[in-house]
Amino acid sequence: MRIAVPNKGRLHDPAVELLERAGLHIEGGADRKLYADTVDPDVSVLFARAADIPEYVADDAAALGVTGLDQVRESRVDLADLLDLDFGRCRLVLAAPEDGPVDSVDALANGTVATEFPNIAEDYFADKPVSPEIVEVSGATELTPHVEIADAIIDITSTGTTLRMNRLVVVDEVLESSVHLFADPNVADDPKVRQVATALESVLAADGKRYLMMNVPRDRLPDAEDVIPGMGGPTVMDIDNGGGEKVAVHVVVDEREVFETITRLKDAGASDILVTEIERLVE
Ligand SMILES: Nc1ncnc2c1ncn2[C@@H]1O[C@H](COP(=O)(O)OP(=O)(O)OP(=O)(O)O)[C@@H](O)[C@H]1O
Ligand SMILES: O=P(O)(O)OC[C@H]1O[C@H](OP(=O)(O)OP(=O)(O)O)[C@H](O)[C@@H]1O
Ligand SMILES: [Mg+2]
């Protein structure tokens, strides 16, 4: 089974890192390759442009694809959306010069909109009362309103820096995007596809979580349990050589809650508190 992954650009490194963390180690590294095996003999990786990945998955060149939701919308292929992988987060927006006449969608009645995403633009205007001319460009879209090529643009923004630098302001939001795991709808329920999706999901589930281990006097256990914000109940175990007066308590907590939880656990009589990272969490 093949997974299509961005070959370069900002999505490449986080995509490869996620596969590695999920246990799908890429043999020989991912640099400048078109194709690679993984430690799993049934799973290989195809490196392709983020924009081409939807087609590759739709055409069966790969069963799975890791790419931006924007790319899938733009390509208009019908894929199963298995998982939000929580990186490459950005917004596609309609934007126009800050001191210009376009302050709403309606102001574009006879206008021109430049974009790298002509299909998304067309779909966006399909249910609007105006239908401006769409001009496809292949980059530096933010420049076009300043050289009389367009009145507005539909482009990606994340920090907003590029828009600001080009004195453009957001007129409307078109699409929220992030990188997802997509599958060919015909194989979305295939056991191997499910296995890979679960492995990636387990990495995301472990993100920002910590594993706490501690000893607690048996008679203080209720106090300790009261201050534990963990998911589900804690795991409580007898300690073999503890003479019965202490128990071991293990729990998963959000990393933001670790500091306060430790302070409160100590007040509840806990000792020998260990905090460790979690690689994967299969729920
Ligand atoms: N500024 C951004 N912040 C977050 N995600 C982004 C940003 N720009 C693009 N993306 C996401 O990354 C995808 C790929 O973007 P793009 O094709 O521009 O590649 P790139 O990583 O910018 O490399 P290059 O433009 O140099 O080829 C986009 O479709 C979008 O999903
Ligand atoms: O809101 P910001 O944080 O400024 O990000 C938005 C910019 O990021 C992307 O460009 P990229 O850096 O990928 O350059 P590119 O035009 O070469 O693709 C996108 O096309 C925007 O221009
Ligand atoms: Mg780019």
pLDDT, tens only, 114-149: 999 999 999 999 999 999 999 999 999 999 999 999
CA dihedral 49, 54, 59, 63 (to 10 degrees): 90
Last residue of a domain, one of 135, 157, 177: 177
Ligand 1 centroid, distance to 45 Cα (angstroms): 20
Report yes or no on whether pTM surpasses 0.95: no
Q: Based on the fold, state whether residues 256 and 116 are members of the same structural domain.
A: no
Structural domain includes residue 282: no
Q: Is residue 189 part of a domain?
A: yes
Bridge partners (DSSP) listed for residue 47 = 5
Q: Pick the range with the lowest mean pLDDT from 15-24, 31-40, 126-135, 180-189.
A: 31-40
Indicate whether 56 belongs to any domain. yes
Q: Which ligand is nearest to the CA of 9?
A: 1
The whole domain housing 266 covers 208-277
Residue 283 lies in a domain: no
CA 35 / ligand 3 centre spacing (Å):
22
Closest-approaching ligand to the CA atom of 170 = 2
Asked whether the ipTM of the predicted complex exceeds the cut of 0.90, the reply is: yes
Whether residue 184 is found in the same domain as residue 238? no
Coil vs helix vs strand at 75: helix
**Of the candidates 133, 159, 177, which is a domain's last residue?**
177
Q: What is the CATH number of the domain that holds 17?
A: 3.40.190.10
Residue 242 confidence (pLDDT): 62
Residues 194 and 212 in one domain: no
Ligand 1 binding residues, C-beta < 6 A = 9-11, 50-51, 68, 70-71, 88-90, 156, 158, 177
In-domain check, residue 42? yes
- Name 250's Cβ contacts closer than 8 Å, sequence gap at least 6: 211, 212, 213, 234, 235, 237
Number of structural domains in the chain: 3
91 lines ligand 2 (CB under 6 A): no
Mean pLDDT value of segment 265-277: 96
DSSP code for 168 = E
Do 77 and 104 fall into the same domain?
A: no
Proximal ligand: closest to the CA of 49: 1
> What is d(CA 252, CA 209) in angstroms, rounded to the nearest whole number?
7
Q: Check residue 239 and give its pLDDT.
A: 86
